[in-house]
Amino acid sequence: MKTFDIDRDAAETLALDAFVEQVLHLEGKACLTNSFQIEDMVVLHQLRQIAPNIPVLFLDTGYHFKETYAYRDRMVQEWGLNLVSLQAKQSVADQESAFGILNQTDPSRCCSLRKVAPLMQGLEPYDIWFTGLRREQSPTRKNLRKLEPHVLPTGKSLLKVSPLADWDFKQVWSYISRHQIEYLPLYDQGYSSIGCEPCTSIPEDSNNPRSGRWSGRKLECGIHTFTETNASPLTTLQDGQ
């Protein structure tokens, strides 16, 4: 059984590089979930300075833009990434044959089958879960902390880490530009939040980058709202039995 004593309030004040280094020195197996959007690439760029072989978990829903797949493959090759592809139990064809086009009729169920379920299973081997989440992205993320203890449906506990929680969009782009990191070409077409192609459009409201997701019908796919959070400022995390 593994335990972590983490002072979440102190962590909020650390600079990005110092914060990432401190978390990576904790005892436990770490991973990063990466949709290959710019926030995830900033976090990955930092992680690779210390842990170049860190597992990069990609949710392959079968519905991504062709540009996303091409960019993913290019960065895997150029950066030598340890990519872990997570997939739903059913193929896209089998799911559509059984339930129809769920991303049109019931997008929440589609996300549950193709994102939430594979991720919850994929996170089981890990103790530390890095993300590219930011508070500014959505009202559902406004209370996000850089360090959050989460419990998976099986009872397994892990530390969810969001190094960019307090960053704004300009800071992310500044980092991308400063470090000359190649980014997903869809941003140049006007997309600001990029997920599955059928559920992603160019946002009409430039002040709401996620307004182009799910045609405004919802704000989250569920992978960041499904796990239980322990909100104690100083928390001891334990692996589930």
- By annotation, the residues acting in catalysis are 221
Long-range contacts of 183-189 (CB under 8 A, 24+ apart): 183/38, 183/41, 184/36, 184/37, 184/38, 184/67, 184/68, 184/71, 185/67, 185/71, 186/65, 186/67, 186/68, 187/38
C-alpha span between 189 and 199 (Å, rounded): 16
Q: Which phi and psi angles does 188 have, rounded to 5°?
A: -70, -15
The amino acid at residue 149 is P
Tell how many helices (H) and how many strands (E) occur in the chain. 9, 9
